[in-house]
Structure 1
Amino acid sequence: MELEIWWIGKTAESYLHQGISVYLKKINHFANANIREFKEAKGLKNIKSIKQFETPALLKAIQVPGIIPILLDENGQNFSSLEFADWLSKNTQTSNRKLCFIIGGAYGFSDEIKNHVPTKIALSEMTFTHQMIRLIFLEQLYRAFTIINKIPYHNE
């Protein structure tokens, strides 16, 4: 199974780099997971301009055949860890296409991106930085794989 995890911009903090590396290595025991960084807007102050800058590359990438894009969005569907594991299991077994989880920039996604991607999931009703959510999501992805494979990690 192959997975893609995309995000806008480089990861800024070394502790996040370390955590991301740890969880990516763990995830790769279950799936071939790849991270792709998209260029972020620098020097722009207007939120609309920032989203307009980030949209074309993402829009082009999500239209590539063979992937199922999934936005990590605050207005997406909320799951418990068990529910997310079940969702992940069903979606990886029913399709030969790659699941592609996409984390937006500091201001989220443009309406154009949201309109092109029907599947949206939320990690929490709380707000996290776009940098921090990278590590949090990878931990949840790893947790889901351990639940699916009945490996002790998740506690109820």
Structure 2
Amino acid sequence: MKVQIICIGKTAFSYLDEGIDLYEKRLKHYLPFEWIIVPEIKKAKNWSADQIKQAEGQALVKIIPSDSVITLLDVKGKTFTSEEFASFLNTRMISGVKTLSFIIGGAYGFSPEIYAKAQFKISLSKMTFSHQLVRVVFSEQLYRAMTILRSEPYHH
């Protein structure tokens, strides 16, 4: 199974890039993994949140592979413990999913079109994190899940 994280825009801080790079290198030892960065919408300073979500949604639809199982990282999603998330991944792996796409929305979340395409929604916490910080936190949780599935000591 290939895992991809699709997100809107580049990160703004080098410390986030360092964290992302660290977990990307680690994850590649366990499974095919890639980041897909959708460019931010340009000239949208005077747009409403709904207009931005709609434009980002249209850009995401063009990027998401047609054979992908789509999971949104969303405040309205289901929360998991790390072990439960590892089990979620394992279930997708053994069921023959070819590509599992995790999507991190922009600052305003997702358009209705993207919600309609998603098979799953996951929340990392009841707290709100910046969409850029979520990249590092979720990368680490993916890595942690893989170590749990392999019974490696990282989780402890």
Q: Does the TM-score normalized on the shorter chain lie above 0.5?
A: yes
Q: Which residue of 2 aligns with 1:50?
A: 52
How far has the Cα of 1:13 moved from its partner? 0.5
> What SS is found at the alignment partner of 1:100?
strand
Structure 2 residue runs of 5 or longer lacking an equivalent are none
Alignment of 1:49-128 (within 5 A): 49-62=51-64, 64-128=65-129
* Alignment coverage as a number of residue pairs: 154
Identity %: 45
Moved more, 64-73 or 79-88: 64-73
Q: Which residue of 2 aligns with 1:2?
A: 2
Distance across 2 between alignment mates of 1:118 and 1:69: 6
> What SS is found at the alignment partner of 2:153?
coil
Q: Which residue of 2 aligns with 1:18?
A: 18
How far has the Cα of 1:112 moved from its partner? 1.6
Distance across 1 between alignment mates of 2:111 and 2:142: 25
Distance across 2 between alignment mates of 1:107 and 1:96: 29
Distance across 2 between alignment mates of 1:42 and 1:93: 41
Distance across 1 between alignment mates of 2:6 and 2:86: 20
How far has the Cα of 1:96 moved from its partner? 3.7
* 1:70-124: CA deviation from partner (whole Å, max 9, x where unpaired): 1111101110001000111111111241101110001110112112213111111
Structure 1 residue runs of 5 or longer lacking an equivalent are none
> What SS is found at the alignment partner of 2:53?
helix
Cα RMSD between the aligned structures? 1.2
The amino acid across from 2:10 in the alignment is: K
Structure 1 segments of 4+ aligned residues over 3 angstroms from their partners = none
Distance across 1 between alignment mates of 2:13 and 2:53: 23
Q: Which residue of 1 aligns with 2:37?
A: 37
Distance across 1 between alignment mates of 2:67 and 2:43: 34
Q: Which residue of 2 aligns with 1:148?
A: 149
Distance across 2 between alignment mates of 1:54 and 1:103: 11
> What SS is found at the alignment partner of 1:153?
helix
